[in-house]
Amino acid sequence: MNGAGGASSGVPSFGARLTEAVAARGPLCVGVDPHPALLEAWGLPLDVAGFERFALTATEALADSVAVLKPQSAFFEAYGAAGITVLERVISTARQAGALVLLDVKRGDIGSTMAAYAAAYLADTAPLAADAITVSPYLGFGALEPAFTRARETGRGVFVLARTSNPEGHTVQRARDSRDVTVAQSIVDEAAKLNAGAEPLGDVGVVVGATVEPDEVRLDTLNGPVLVPGFGAQGATAEDLRRVFGSGVRGLLPTSSRDILRHGPDAEALRAAAERAKDSIASILP
């Protein structure tokens, strides 16, 4: 995938669309995570009706003011066909309101299976087509090529897990290869190759948590977006963003879910929480 070429279909690249959205709405990604505990906190029943009301209320409240919404596919899949129907509505509603949709699916496989995942989420005709998806590289970065290819063809993006915020990832992601390079850094380096020469930003992002140690991964050559989980309910603050990433990294996209969603079901309270998060991020990012 050559980011410099843009989408072969002639549509604007994901990197360009993300840059425009962030400039207009601020660098915040909000997760749409219909977790049972949040449904209960909203006073909603733990059934399809409650689940649907939660997901659509959050989407409708936030989609016209945040740059990116990130539905967590697992929560929708848990409800079977009804949940997938709601996910389709969330994607459609968000995009109609001007938000980019990053579908958090964390798919990663080989050969025709990876190609099928790419068709499911990155093809123009797919019911679940999003603006970008998350993928896992732990069957080999090269195995993700079908997703990179499909994304390039349709003007979409791919975010590759690199250094995640969960403690369970440390053993694998901090392991070093024969060149004494960590697995996480090698993933960032491979993504950087695909983004070389892209303007204003490449389409292949990485996921690096806000709770990791400073300088664990070098991002100066990535030339792509960085999805930053861990902000908000997981404990990371705006100052942690500065501590971990410094001031020179382009394309940072902090993501918050529970810390904003807990303010529902009142739409104004949800929007106010998102605005506070954007303000705190803006105070430390260039």
The structure tokens listed for 136 are 């896992």
Instruction: Give the domain extent around 26.
Output: 3-282
Name the residue type at position 231.
F
**What's the whole-number mean pLDDT along residues 165-181?**
92
Distance (Å, whole) CA 179 – CA 44: 53
Lowest mean pLDDT across 64-68, 177-181, 238-242: 238-242
Q: How far apart are the first and last CA of the chain?
A: 29
pLDDT in tens, 75-95: 999 999 999 999 999 999 999
| C-alpha closest to that of 264 among 82, 28, 62 | 62
Distance (Å, whole) CA 186 – CA 182: 6
Name the residue type at position 163.
R
**Catalytic option among 70, 106, 193, 278:** 106
| C-alpha closest to that of 82 among 47, 56, 31 | 47
In the prediction, which pLDDT does 4 show? 41
| C-alpha closest to that of 224 among 266, 273, 178, 190 | 190
pLDDT in tens, 224-269: 999 999 886 667 788 888 888 887 778 999 999 999 999 999 999 9
Distance (Å, whole) CA 169 – CA 107: 16
Query: Residue ranges of the alpha helices (H) in the chain?
Result: 14-25, 36-41, 48-62, 73-77, 80-96, 111-122, 145-154, 170-173, 183-195, 238-245, 258-261, 267-282
Q: What is the mean pLDDT of the chain?
A: 93
Cβ count within 10 A of residue 175:
12
Provide the number of structural domains found in the chain: 1
CATH of the domain at 90: 3.20.20.70
Predicted confidence band of residue 22 (pLDDT cuts 50, 70, 90): very high
β-bridge mates for residue 133, sequence order: 103, 158
Confirm whether 278 is a catalytic residue: no
Cβ count within 10 A of residue 147:
27
β-bridge mates for residue 115, sequence order: none
